[in-house]
């Protein structure tokens, strides 16, 4: 999921975490 880390100033880490949670949630919904 590293490719989902957008270089948005100092918030890139937060965005990475948010994207990870969203993708995990979507995977649970699909299953």
| Six token digits for residue 31 | 């299953």
Task: Return phi, psi of residue 28, to 5°.
Answer: -65, -40
List the domain range (segments joined by +) for residue 30: 1-31
The 3-state DSSP class for residue 30 equals helix
User: pTM for the complete prediction?
Assistant: 0.49
Dihedral sign computed on CA atoms, order 18, 26, 4, 8? negative
Question: Could you tell me the pLDDT band of residue 10, with boundaries at 50, 70 and 90?
Answer: low
**What mean pLDDT is predicted for residues 6-22?**
71
Q: Residue 28: which pLDDT band, with cuts at 50, 70 and 90?
A: very high
Query: Is 3's pLDDT higher than 60?
Result: no
Q: Domain count of the chain? A: 1
> CA angle at residue 24 from 21 to 27, to 5 degrees?
150
């Amino acid at each position: 999921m590293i490719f989902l880390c957008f270089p948005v100033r100092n918030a890139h880490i937060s965005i990475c975490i948010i994207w990870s949670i969203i993708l995990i949630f979507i995977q649970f919904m699909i299953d």
